[in-house]
Every structure is written in C-alpha cells, then in structure tokens.
Amino acid sequence: MSVLLQLHNIHKSFGAVTILDDATASFSQNQKIGFIGRNGSGKSTLCKIIISQEKMDSGSITKNGELKLGYLEQHDPFQPNETVLDFLMRYTGKEEWRCAELAAKFHLTFDFLEKKITALAGGYQTRLKLAAMLLHDPNFLILDEPTNYLDLSTLILLEHFLQQFNGGFVIVSHDREFLKRTCDHTLEVENGQLTLYPGTIEEYFEFKEVQLHHRRAHNKAVEKKKEQLQEFIDRFRAKASTASRAKSKMKQLGRLKTIQIEHPMGGVRIRIPQVERKTGLALSCNNLSIGYPEKAVANAINLEIERGSHIAILGDNGQGKTTLMRTLAGELPAKSGSFKWGSALKIAYYAQHVFSKLHPQDDIYTHLQREAASGVTSQDVLNLAGSFLFKGDDVKKKVSVLSGGERARLCLAGLLLTKSHVLLLDEPTNHLDFETVEALGQALKKFSGTIFFISHDRTFVNLIATAVIDIKNGSVNRYPGTYEDYVYHLELEATNEFGQIEPAEERVTVKPSSAAEGVSGASDLQVEPKPPSVSGKENSDYLKRKEAKAQLAKVKIESKRLERQTEHLTQEREKLFQEMKNNPFHYSKERNEKLKKLTAMLEEAEHAWLNSQANFDRLTKELG
C-alpha cells in the first residue's frame, strides 16, 4: 500500500499556546482514518495545514505524485441565486451530464438540479458540497466535521458512500457511531503529538486502557522501589563502611522515573443538579399547528407527554424539528390550536442562537453563578465548568473573547445549573468532543425531569431517549417503536437506495451524442453502457449479481439488529434470574409471566438470527 501523504515534525503555535509539537504521521492509500482529540487540540488546524489553508511554523509535508486530495468545504462556496447545477458546473468545471450524474449519487435528482441552493435544507447543501468534491476525482479525502447539522437520513447516506469510497480519507468527527461504521484506523492528537493506530476507535480505546494499566503498574513498582532505596540510604549513608554503597543507591534512586499519565479519555463526569420527581402530564397538544406567518410547517399535532419522559424529536432537516422546539419554548406563536405545560414546571431552552444573549463583559464563572439555582454550590458550578472544558483559570475568561463553540458550551452548562423541570435542547452535542457528549448523555439519562431534544448523534440519542417523536411531511407523531427500530428502517431505506448505484466501472454514462445531431426527434443525450458491448447472458448475470449484493446488505443489517435484540433480551432475562436468586422465597406471578415471555421472545429472536446468518452465508457463497 503506497504512502500518499507524510507529515514530518509539524509545529504550530497561536501566540503562547502550542497546538502541534513535532506532529508526525504517514497516510497510505485506502486507509480510512478517524481523527479524534479534545476540542482545541489541533484537529481542524492540521486539516487546514494539509490543504494549504493554514501555514505551519516548521516541519514538512510530502505528497505523493499520485495524490489527488479532496476537501469538504467548511464554509459555503455558493454564489447568490445560484442553482444546484450552475454551482456544480462553475465550481468544478465539469460538463453538465457529469455533474448531473454525480449529483444523483447523493439523491440530488433532476428536480433538484434547477432549484436555488438557498431553498435547500442544510443536509442537502452538504450533499451538494460532497458531490462537488467528488467531481474532482480525488483518491484521498480530508473531511472536517462532515456530520455537523446533518439529519439522520443524510448521515446514513454519507456512511454508505464512505464505506464504498475507493480511496482513503481522514475524518474529524465527534460522532463515535459514525467513526465506528466508516473507519478502520484511528488518529489521535494529544498534547501536540499524533498517534496513528491500525484499528477502529473501539480497539484504540481498548489499547489505551491497557497502556494506562501498564503505566500505572509501572509507576506503582517504581514508587515502591524508591521507598526501599530511600530507606537503605537513610539507614547506611552515615556509616563510613557503607557510605559508598549508600551513594550508589542514591544514583540508582535518581535514575528511577515514573511515566507521566495524561488525563485519560473517559475521565469526564457531569453531574446535573436534580429536580423534584413529579407525576402527571408534562405537555399536552390539542390540534396544534406550527409554522410562520407565511407558511404552516405541521398541522393537527395531538400529543400527551408524561413527566419524566426523554423525547427525541427526529426527522429530516427542514421538516420542522426546530420550529416545534421554538414553539414549545414560546419563541414562536402557535398558528392554531393549543399546547399546555403541566403546572409549576420551570422550562429551559438551549439552541445554537441563544449564546447571543450572553453579557460580553461577564466572565465564565460569573455567568454560571448567575444562572445557577439556589442550593447549587460554588464547587458544583466549578465542577460543571470543568466538565465543559473550562478548567482552572479558564473560568476567568471574558465572554467577549470566547469562540462560538465555547459560548455554546457555556450556555449549555448554565442551562443545566438552573434546576429546570423541562429541558428543551436543540442540537446540544455540537461543539462537544464525544467524550463530553457521552458524559452529558449519561448525566441526562439520570435526569428525573422531562427532556425534549434534537440530535443526530446516535450514541447520545440511544443513551437518553425513552420515546421518539417523528416529524415528516407536515405530521408530528409518536413513533411506535424504539430508537433502534427507527434507525434500522432508515438504514434499510438507505441500503435500498444506495444499492441502486452502480460501481464506477459498470455504471451507465450519459454524455452528449454526436450521432444524434441533426436527426429529427433524436434526444440530445444518449445512454452509453460500459463496456460498449454486453451480451444478454452477461447482462442477466450482472443483474442477478447486483440484486444479490443489495440483498446481502439488507441481510447484514437485519442480522446485526437481531444480534443486538438477542443481547438485550438475554440481559433482561439474566436480571430476572438474579432477582430470583437474591429472593428465593419471594413468589411473584408477574415476574414469572415476564420470564416466560422473555424466554419465548429470546428463542424467537435467536431462531431469526440463525436464519439470517444462514442467508448471509448463502449469499456470500453465491457472490464468491
């Protein structure tokens, strides 16, 4: 595997702060690399250095002559009033047919090509930037936070694309599930240094845990040896007959060094001040219609939400998730109908725009202290500030010097200190590294109040959600299944759609026709298959193979879902067995019925999983 890109001793500082310190790594063809690190550790800076948007202070980058680098733009490179097709042709210099062909790969079909880009939702604009990047035919991609603000459908589409991409890439992301599904190598930046591990993110964290255990064991042994040497020195250095030996031991003591242990991943803990647990309805909606003066977004919303529920609001971008959240927060008036919160409920709302309400002259601690409810101690405030990466003297920073991401974290931390009964959270995980995301998820899972939240981070949603509200085509409804069921069906849809895309060497190419020129009624475009001559039998074999591949992808997803279901049912049954073991003389008819039901469901799930595995093996064998 040839090396496409080499980074050697890269150094970068901003003022007195060193971001990269002799950072060195090599990236090879077809490596799928997940790039991780804490906020501010230098991930985006390194990406910009690689694509020459940022200068390094020292060091070098060697690029193989075969390297064709692609970069997903963080800013929007669109011009005012530009259509989808106009942008692709201007930005890439490619022919109309080629732009249309590649746009279709991201489901930007003919209907979208003449639309103005400003009319597209954020997820579709990201699809457009991905298509533009690929029109340059890159063989190695640099993707800095490509999942930010993507809806789940587009996120899954991006996953499928990356899984099939014939080349390598480096992805900066705080979405753990996304990295698990797309990357086979892990790159971490820590204290200015780069570590490239030849394994998935889960394997890398396991490796780090082992390393941490070894370092702690080494340090413990060193400290014990130091104590023994110091005791010998103290006892014998005063005696002339043993002074030389004591001096030798002092030199030995001086050579003993412990290994410095940096703050380990998984060290973040978030504690949210709890509120009084109450029963009854938190929210009721009666024929509620939401939207704007010129447009209704969703109608006939009828919901009843119990207190203590943790509701994930899901749906594609542009369907009305934020509109619903803003209406419930009182920022937008209802168009018709009504909604009512339960009595004596304190409601707090977090969204990306709320940090504009911060006082520029406040420092971090002052803001958090003012937001904190009575009974929240100064230490509680400092602990939560630290959890959101404001440590030590950072709490003295003025709001006016904070970045957008830091202000968003500050607002979220302040909201969690208010001891509100209802939390309305619109994309709370943006600007957080995934360690903090998962710590926040664990804390919110234990929160006794009611939560309505919008997020496309599957790890985060899976940790918190007890129910799902789905917004689609003007309707707002409770989803009948679990969040896992919801994701599974989206994955199945993406597999069906992505399975229709042909490999590059087999795809149908649309290009201008010279033979059709001047012929009455002839199309301006002709379809030209590759290779140009395919027999009926070969075409039939190809279609069968294509169908088998699509079927294999479906079976693989179904098999994984059944495996997760089996594991969950097994855990539930083991809990009941343990309960019966702990209370052998306590008889419960309800518990026995539950055990019988769980056992039957487990047997059914195991049987379905075995059938799914058999289908998978059969299809794999057929495909050779």
Residue-level pLDDT at 264:
46
What pLDDT score was predicted for residue 459? Answer: 86
CATH 2.30.30.140 fits 3-200, yes or no: no
More confident residue, 238 or 156: 156
Give the separation between CA 408 and CA 4, rounded to whole angstroms: 37
Distance CA 259, CA 59 (A): 27
* Euclidean distance between CA atoms 608 and 8, whole angstroms: 52
Q: Return d(Cα 609, Cα 617) in angstroms, integer.
A: 12
71-83 pLDDT tens trace: 887 677 888 889 9
| Rg of the chain taking only CA atoms, in angstroms | 29
- pLDDT above 50 for 520: no
Residue pair 277/314 in contact (Cβ under 8 Å)? The answer is: no
Please state, in angstroms and rounded to a whole number, the distance separating the CA atoms of residues 402 and 365: 13
Neighbour-count burial of 611, counting CB atoms closer than 10 A to its CB (0-12 exposed, 13-18 middle, 19+ buried): middle
Length of the chain: 624
Evaluated on CA atoms 92, 98, 103, 108, the torsion sign reads positive
Q: In this model, does residue 347 exceed pLDDT 80? A: yes
User: Residue 182: which pLDDT band, with cuts at 50, 70 and 90?
Assistant: very high
Residue with the larger pLDDT of the pair 582 and 520:
582
| Residue 263 pLDDT grade (very low, low, confident, very high; cuts 50, 70, 90) | very low
Q: Which tens digits make up the pLDDT trace of 15-58? A: 888 899 999 999 998 899 999 988 778 888 999 999 998 999 99
C-alpha 68/C-alpha 54 separation (Å) is: 19
Q: What is the mean pLDDT of residues 541-570?
A: 74
Alpha-carbon distance of 285 to 340, in angstroms, equals: 7
Which pLDDT score, from 0 to 100, does residue 150 have? 78
Residue environment code for 408-430, b if the CB has 16+ CB neighbours within 10 A, otherwise e = bbbbbbbbbbbbbbbbbbbbbbb
Mean pLDDT of 449-454: 94
Q: For 428-452, what is the mean pLDDT?
A: 86
DSSP per position, 93-115: ---HHHHHHHHHHTT--HHHHTS
Mean pLDDT, rounded, of the chain:
80
Fold of the domain spanning 282-496: Rossmann fold (3.40.50)
Query: What pLDDT does 506 receive?
Result: 36
pLDDT band, very low/low/confident/very high, at 223 (cuts 50, 70, 90)? confident
**What per-residue confidence (pLDDT) applies to 528?**
38
pLDDT at 329: 93
**DSSP characters over 14-68:** ETTEEEEEEEEEEEETT-EEEEE--TTSSHHHHHHHHTTSS--SEEEEEE-TT--
312: phi then psi, degrees, rounded to nearest 5: -90, 125
Over 60: is that where the pLDDT of 514 sits? no
What pLDDT is attached to residue 518?
A: 36
Kindly report, residue by residue over 103-140, the tens digit of the pLDDT. Answer: 887 878 888 888 888 888 777 888 888 889 989 989 99
pLDDT of residue 49: 93
Binning pLDDT at 50, 70 and 90, where does residue 449 land? very high
Residue 236: pLDDT band (50, 70, 90) is low
Closest CA to 456 of 147, 108, 92, 80: 147
H-helix or E-strand spanning residue 302: strand 295-306
Q: What is the mean pLDDT of residues 243-249?
A: 64
Quick one: tokens of 33? 């690399």
Query: Please, are residues 9 and 59 in contact by the beta-carbon 8 Å criterion?
Result: yes
Per mean pLDDT, which of 380-389, 521-530, 581-590 is the most reliable? Answer: 380-389
> Contact, 352 vs 427, CB < 8 A?
yes
For residue 310, the Cα-to-chain-centroid distance in whole angstroms is 20
For residues 450 and 409, the model is more confident at: 450
Q: Which of 298-307, 444-453, 566-575 has the lowest mean pLDDT?
A: 566-575
Report how far residue 23's alpha carbon sits from residue 37's, in angstroms, rounded to the nearest whole number.
14
